[in-house]
Amino acid sequence: MRILGIDPGTRMAGYGIIEIQNSGKILAVAAGAWDLNANQELASRLATLAIEFRRVVAAYAPTHLCIELSFLAENPRSALYLGHARGVVLSEAHQSGLKISEISATSAKKIISGNGRCNKNEIAKIMSSLLGFQMQSLPLDATDALSIACADAMRIKQSSFHSSSIIDKSDSNKKILEEWSKSKKQKRR
């Protein structure tokens, strides 16, 4: 399974792709940031974001997308612009057939570090340690995107663990006893 994490923006947007191997190990596949020229009109930047998103999806063939949820910014215009970027990514992901999930920055940080309020540099250090790259080699938007993808991977692993390992013992015992009773009756015949 390949997960594409996106830290959306209209000036800079980060992406990070991880792969969950059959062994459960998480590997970094690719990461970077799209510098969306702040001097261009918003529509042009959003078009560039869509093009770059499609290029990454075509090059790395992720199966899942996890995008950071919008936050209520102090500046309503910033929140609105972030919503535009998220809309472009969500539309492109849907058209690409990716399974889509969303996570808040706070939740991703908490899953990755145990602290939902850690800063971008702390996340970069954790991601470089976890995935084995030099922290300075990637922009902070890219390490944020990797953390979003990794947090999603950890949520997926945890939910599949819980859904497959939670057993109602009383129900399980009943089924075992029923099967045992059937096998005894068949042997008597």
Residues assigned a catalytic role: 7, 68, 141
CB-based burial label for 124 (10 Å; 0-12, 13-18, 19+): buried
**Contact status, residue 102 vs residue 69, Cβ threshold 8 Å:** yes
Q: 7: buried, middle or exposed (CB in 10 Å: 19+, 13-18, 0-12)? A: buried
CA–CA separation, 182 and 83 (whole Å) = 59
What are the backbone angles phi and psi of residue 188, rounded to the nearest 5°? -70, -30
Q: Cα(19)–Cα(125) distance, rounded to whole angstroms?
A: 20
DSSP-assigned beta bridge partners for residue 34? 13
Q: Both tokens of residue 78?
A: 């910033």
Residue 18's SS3 state is strand
